[in-house]
Amino acid sequence: MGNEEAVFYSRVLTELTLSFHIIYATIGVGVPLMIMIAQWVGIKKNDEHYILLARRWARGFIITVAVGVVTGTAIGLQLSLLWPNFMEFAGNVIALPLFMETFAFFFEAIFLGIYLYTWDRFENQKKHLLLLVPVAIGASFSAVFITMVNAFMNAPRGFDIVDGEIVNINPIIAMFNPAMPTKVAHVVITAYMTAAFVLAAIAAFRLLRGSDHVYHKKALYLTMKLGFVFSIATALIGDFSGKYLAEYQPEKLAAAEWHFETQENAPLILFGVLKDGEVKYAINIPFGLSMLAFNNPNAEVIGLDQFPEDEIPPLYIHYLFNIMVFIGMWMTILSALYWIGINRGWKRVSTKWFRWLIVLGAPLTMIAIESGWWLAEVGRQPWILRKIMRVEDAATTSGQVDLMLMLFAGLYIVLGIGSVVVLRRMFNKNPVERELEDRHKEQGGDVQ
Amino acid sequence: MNLEILGISVLWTFLFGYILVGAIDFGAGFFNAYSLLTGKQRILTKVIQRYLSPVWEVTNVFLVFFFVGIIGFFPKTAFYYGTTLLVPVSFGIILLAIRGSYYAFETYGARGHKGYSFMYGLAGILIPASLSIVLTISEGGFIEIVDGNPVLDYWVLFTSPLTWSIVVLSIAATLYISAVFLTWYAHKAGDVEATNLLRKYALIWSLPTIITAGGIIFELRRHNFEHYNNIQTFWPMFLISFLLFAGTVWLLWKRHNYGWAFILLMGQFIFAFFGYGASHYPYLLYPYLTIYDSFTNPAMAISLIVAFILGLGLLIPSLVLLMRLFLFNKGYVRGKKDFHV
């Protein structure tokens, strides 16, 4: 074919765009829900701190949403530019959720515009909160529809191939493919979890930086509590994902778990390194994999020996899998300790070092999100559409992909730095203490 | 009407929507940057930012809708256009990204930051230029099939007068549409100084718009005779378009009824855009791709149309609400009320 270069650079560019976009997309899906909860708590408790929390989060959210929207547009177009053969196929079978995503996005965009420009416009705060509902729904459903497409790539259904022609197409079956339920749930819930921990990290950071305002303490408690709830949900869904993989994509599970031989009573391998085909320094949990895959310690789990060599994903996905799972578990424990600690009056959860751990949670959960997506994508290799189309057959034949890669890398640097600079400037210039003071002056001193 | 024509009509309508709201948006960003450069920001910035603020993200969705929709209705376009457009569309994406994000950075994070304003003003005005290349390529003559794969000939593309006329038209039309709209908006806001300045811009940019538009039809005669002939059969549409253009300019000149001036302008572009689209029929890409041989399967087509109808049911009331709250709300337009987050 002589097209290896284009394939290689197309993969790198797609990976780069997705890795950058997913940071903003995850915040974009998760934060509207957090704003909604904060505003709702504020209205219910008649506590201006929570209302202001919602308002300040909304302000920061605009910046991340802007970058999320433009990078989302980039990946949307890059799919056709870099993977034209895949998109021709996808257009025929899985175009429906892609199309519906644009409506979800439309809906979100319109109401976000309205929400942002109607603060204090309504006498009744609840009316304003109501405007945020379509934003949160639109944001989450964007993720739902896009993840449906990704699920389809893992478990293509809803068509037959007869003599190289796609026939008997059923868009609904394609949408509701076997990978869909676990994947969609996992993506949406981890976005909520990540958003909660990122916002918690901001509150903890403010407290560490000398502010002792109760506003930040309320923010921290609320977000850690939410983070805990969503991390429990994530663990449950993660378990279902394992069972899905065992049944429908055993090669992905086997590669992620370094499960080489098909066997009953399969053990679970944690950590470890791979040296000349030998697993070393690993922790072995007897029956673990059989339990994870089928809830039955004696169940037979298919190993990599059942697959031809050129259909096995790279084995380094084991590391990605471990990173994702352990960050998830670590954050569950951390948030549980914090929640219990605050309620029991443990001094330890309000110490400096504990707060630093919470701050560390923001980059960690982002790393977990990235590892999860790399695991999902690399674990599907060599397929772009499992068992239907290989990655190298899907790529463009254009000779300029390397140049575009450099341009986009430059763009993401500019956007990444730009968004951080602007966000810092926004909040450093207008700390919460000053804003509360200003509001009180405006209202003639009476607290609403 | 068959499904193919229904599909392309829906997409063409949304593309028109993007061109209209996009032009207002990009032109406004450019005028804003230009006013900073010439020290006229006192006059323009306020009225421009009042309009731009709540709608920028909606503009972008029109474009996303178009390119997602075209892959859904006409999947073969992914192969032909996807392979050949890598470079021009990538430039378009980068400009869109700079424009969208730096607009937000300036508006929400660093009000009045000059560097950011220049960045998004300049990026915005180049977007129509880079995306209009797609329309040029669709005329055929720039793509060859090599070993079964379409390849874009950059030399032929960038030495063709047609390419550059379309680039100039896209920029001129952007500034013209934007200036006419903002004249009306400024007038509604009761801002006399801004109205006068924008009216001047509108009159200035009307001329290059109509000259290049006419010139393109003329150049098509040499470049794509078949399309040129088809345009002739749609001459009444282009005539109406021209008359509406004359009407807009007359109203602006006489300082009459700026609202009608903008409505006539919309009519001008609707007739020209749909006349152009109809004469392009049935080709999506001369001479390789028609709407018939690239159309998706019936099952997908019908589900997309059902989704579209349901989606519109959500979309139209929301858009009406958006416009009533901001575009047609006197208190908001005049800047008397500010409920910004």
Q: Model confidence over B236-291: pLDDT tens digits?
A: 999 999 999 999 999 999 988 999 999 999 999 999 999 999 998 889 888 888 99
Q: How confident is the model at residue A448 (pLDDT cuts 50, 70, 90)?
A: very low
In the structure, what pLDDT confidence band is assigned to residue B335 with cuts at 50, 70 and 90?
low
pLDDT at A438: 82
Residue B255 in tokens: 């300082």
Let me know if A424 is exposed, middle or buried by CB neighbors in 10 A (0-12, 13-18, 19+): exposed
Position A65 pLDDT exceeds 80: yes
The rounded distance, in Å, linking the Cα atoms of B7 and B205 is 34
Which residues, 6+ apart, have CB-to-CB distance to B137 below 8 Å?
B81, B84, B85, B88, B143, B152, B157, B285
Nearest to residue A239, comparing CAs of A179, A303, A293? A293
Query: What CA–CA distance (Å, rounded) separates A365 from A227?
Result: 11
Instruction: Please give the average per-residue pLDDT across A6-13, as a whole number.
Output: 93
The model's pLDDT over B209-244, given as tens digits with 9 standing for 90+, comes to: 999 998 898 888 888 888 888 888 989 999 999 999
Partner residue opposite B58 with nearest CB, options A93, A99, A109: A109
How many angstroms separate the CA atoms of A393 and B147, rounded? Answer: 15
- Cross-chain Cβ contact B94/A407 below 8 Å: yes
Q: Residues A382-411: what's their mean pLDDT?
A: 91
Test A110 with B341 for CB contact under 8 angstroms: no
Domain ranges across chain A: 1-179+392-448, 199-248+250-379
Q: Given this model, what pLDDT does residue A363 score?
A: 96
Q: Does A400 touch chain B (CB under 8 A)?
A: yes
Using pLDDT thresholds of 50, 70 and 90, give the confidence band for residue B149.
confident
| Cβ–Cβ gap A103/B90 under 8 Å | no
Please tell me the number of Cα atoms within 13 Å of A323 on its side-chain side: 18
Residues of chain A contacting B151 with CB distance shorter than 8 Å: 397
Provide mean pLDDT across the span A156-178: 91
Say yes or no: B319 contacts chain A, CB-CB below 8 A: yes
Average pLDDT over residues A125-146: 92
Q: CB contacts < 8 Å between A and B, how many?
A: 236
Average pLDDT over residues A399-408: 92
Q: Are A318 and A270 in contact (CB under 8 A)?
A: no
Sign, CA torsion A319/A323/A329/A330:
positive
How close does chain B come to A191, measured CA to CA in Å? 22
Q: Among residues B106, B114, B92, B111, which one has the least CA distance to residue B35?
A: B114
Distance from CA of A229 to the nearest CA of B (A): 29
Tokens of A176: 């509701």
Mind telling me how many Å the CA of A408 is from chain B's nearest CA? 7
Q: Which of residues 63-102 of B touch A (CB under 8 A)?
A: 63-65, 67-69, 71-76, 78-87, 89-94, 96-98, 100-102
**Nearest-neighbour CA in chain B from A175: distance (Å):** 12
Question: Cα separation of A416 and A174, whole Å?
Answer: 35
CB atoms near residue B161 (< 10 Å): 12
Is B297 an interface residue toward A (CB < 8 Å)?
Answer: yes
Residue A34, helix vs strand vs coil: helix
What pLDDT is stored for residue B53 in this prediction? Answer: 63
- Whether A59 sits inside 8 A of B315 (CB atoms) is no
Residue type, A69: V
Which of 299-318 (B) contact A at CB < 8 A?
299-300, 303-304, 307-308, 311, 314-315, 318
Minimal Cα–Cα distance from B331 to chain A, Å? 12
| Contacting residues of A for B92, CB less than 8 Å apart | 77
Is the pLDDT at A296 greater than 70, yes or no?
A: yes
Task: Report the pLDDT averaged over residues A313-329.
Answer: 93
pLDDT at B104: 87
Judged against a pLDDT cut of 60, whether residue A68 lies above it is answered with yes
CA B260 to chain centre: 20
Is residue A405 pLDDT above 90, yes or no? yes
pTM of the predicted structure, to 2 decimals: 0.91
Q: Do B78 and A84 touch (CB under 8 A)?
A: yes
- Give the gap in angstroms from C-alpha A59 to the nearest C-alpha of chain B: 6
Please determine, for residue A422, whether its predicted confidence score (pLDDT) is greater than 70.
yes
Cβ contact A62–B341 (<8 Å): yes
Residues shown for chain A: 448
pLDDT at A445: 46
Average pLDDT (B177-187) is: 92
**Residue B147 in 3-state DSSP?**
coil
Residues of B in contact with A172 (CB under 8 A): 303
Q: Which of A5, A130, A385, A422 would best serve as a mutation to test chain B binding (most B beta carbons within 10 A)?
A: A422
Residues 61-80 of A with CB under 8 A from B: 62-63, 65-67, 69-74, 76-78, 80
Model pLDDT, residue A349:
83
Among the ranges given (A96-100, A216-220, A346-350, B142-146), the one the predictor scored with the smallest mean pLDDT: A346-350
Query: Which of A322-331, B36-45, B314-323, B332-341 has the least mean pLDDT?
Result: B332-341
Q: A400, B87: Cβ pair inside 8 Å? A: yes
What residues of B are in contact with residue A149 (Cβ under 8 Å)? none
- Write the CA distances from B5 to B72, B145, B278, integer angstroms: 14, 27, 10
Cβ atoms of B72 and A92 within 8 Å: the answer is: no
Residue A301 contacts residue A263 (beta carbons within 8 Å):
yes
A189-204 in b/e burial notation, b at 16+ Cβ within 10 A?
Answer: bbbbbbbbbbbbbbbb
pLDDT digits (tens, 9 = 90+) for A31-62: 999 999 999 999 999 888 999 999 999 999 98
At what angle are helices B258-280 and B3-37 packed, to 10 degrees? 130
> How many angstroms away from the CA of B218 is the closest CA of chain A?
32
Distance from CA of A138 to the nearest CA of B (A): 11
How far CA A77 is from CA of A81, A318, B158, B234, in Å, comes to 6, 31, 23, 33
Identify which of A125-129, A162-166, A223-227, B183-187 has the greatest average pLDDT: A223-227
Of the candidates A107, A128, A108, A129, the residue with the CA atom closest to the CA atom of residue A118: A128
